[in-house]
Amino acid sequence: MEHRTNPYDEGDIIPTPMSGEHREREEPLASTSRSRATQSARDAAARRAANARAGSGTKQGSARQRRPQRRNPNDRPELSVQNTIRRRRKIGIGVIVGSIVTAILLLTALLFWINRPVPITVNGQQAEVRIGSTLREVLHETDVSVEPGNYVTVSGNVIQANQGRAFNAVVNGNRLTPEQIEDLRIQGTEAIEFSDGDDIIEEFNASSESIEPYLRMEGSGYSLQYVSQWARMGERQYRTGKVSGETAEVITVEPRDCIITCRDLYLEPGDDGVKYVALTFDDGPSDVNTPQYLDILDRYGVKATFYNLGENTQAFPELARDVIARGHQLCNHTMAHNQLTAVDSQTIYNEITTSADVIAQTTGVQTTHIRPPYGDFTERSWLASGGSITAAVRWTGDSQDWRYTGLNDTETVQTIVDNSLLNIHSGSIILMHDGGGGGAQDIAALPKLIERLQADGYTFVTISDLMRQAGDIPEEVCSGTSTMPQDAVWPKEIHPDDIAAAAASST
């Protein structure tokens, strides 16, 4: 509804019908009132025109624009600023309160997380403890009963009871040191085994000395001897207690003996029924026999092992290299075929190492396998070798071809074959010669022997490969090229028990 301005100001007199005699007197006043009304009408019209020009174009908008704006008593500038400040204060207080509540919730969640229970196993029983717990706290919370160790003298006599280590602990299979026990914090899922604490030994003065290891031979097989354990030095301490004054002898590092295992190889046939046999030749190379043997082996696709003498390798270096080139294994048969049980320790060492050096210089092959001449090799022989070898290989089947030198008749040839096949089994080692006693009889017997074994399901392999088939011989020994580890030592004495056993067997 349009608001119209009253053309009469306060205090104006509202005209009333007049008589004719008064009209003339009142004319100036009426003129003035009409003039004011006209001006108000003009002002209203101007305002409506201005509102129309500023309108949005719609009737509703135009109507709103035409209405005069009622003045809000709170629209004064100073009141608007105050209201804005009040609103901002309210918003700020709300933000602060919200932030505090959020922080409290996050802190509560964090405290719960860092103190949450986690599952562990303690001495075989399931338990829950606070994450980050120490082992002492776990021990207390799970009520596991252990006894502390004692504070003792160097001889083990108790100085103060229960003043040793509080407990021992094995976590996930690892025994912890005292420092690790103190440092460990539970993360969950650990398997913990608590046990009684160790004694703590009084402080002491000490002097030390080394303990030499022994050489020992174990097993009863004949065909194969090898190093199954290298020796390590031990240590002994002589202690004098600072509190008790007692003295004690204590082994702080146990010596580790060198163990030579003696055995024969009995190999189970493979899933395909394949059996394994090693064909070996001694005393070569020979310029007469070795080339013919190599040709026969090639013809049948057979791999063998040649135990060469150092002096023959020097004499026929090309033949030694040809053995390697055709895929066979080359090993040591000593320098000059001395019987090693009949010479002194230095000669034993020289016979082995000189021949090994010759083979290495001639062929590039580093070999630590030997075949002792006549098969003679004892504890004393091993001791004298000085750690220069890893295996001494003898045989299970001896062709005795050396007995029939120069003979190649049918009966002799069959005898050599039969001798080789005596007690044959998967894992057998057959001895023949390409030097010394070898010759025409072997050249005739070798094809028959190979054909017979192949027909019986045997595969010919080198000594190294035969040893690998056993599955429990260290690879460094099987390879025949490894030497004594740098941190190992070679014994100076045979174990007293072995000496006594050897003496008993000789009587």
Catalytically annotated residues: 282, 433
Q: What is the DSSP string of 360-396?
A: HHHH-----EE--GGG---HHHHHHHTT--SEEE--S
Please, what is the Cα angle at 154 between 148 and 159, to 5 degrees? 50
Question: 433, exposed or middle or buried, with CB in 10 Å at 0-12, 13-18, 19+?
Answer: buried
Mapping DSSP to helix (H, G, I), strand (E, B) and coil, where does residue 90 land?
helix
Nearest alpha-carbon partner for 387 in 464, 493, 483: 483
Identify the residue whose tokens are 């001495």. Answer: 123
Helices 290-300/440-455 angle, 10° precision: 20
- Give the distance from CA 498 to its chain's centroid: 39
In whole angstroms, what is the distance from residue 201 CA to residue 198 CA?
A: 9
CB atoms within 10 A of CB 428: 26
What is the spatial distance between Cα 340 and Cα 342, in angstroms, rounded to a whole number? 5
Q: How far is CA 477 from CA 135, 261, 377, 473, 485, in A?
A: 45, 12, 18, 7, 12
Residue 258's Cβ-side half-sphere holds a number of Cα atoms within 13 Å equal to 29
Residue 395's alpha-carbon distances to 348, 353, 376, 398, in angstroms, are: 21, 22, 12, 7
For 263-266, the CB contacts below 8 A with 24+ separation are 263/219, 263/220, 263/221, 263/223, 263/224, 264/221, 264/222, 264/223, 264/224, 264/396, 264/427, 265/223, 265/224, 265/427, 265/428, 265/429, 265/466, 265/467, 265/469, 265/470, 266/425, 266/426, 266/427
Phi and psi, residue 117, nearest 5°: -80, 145
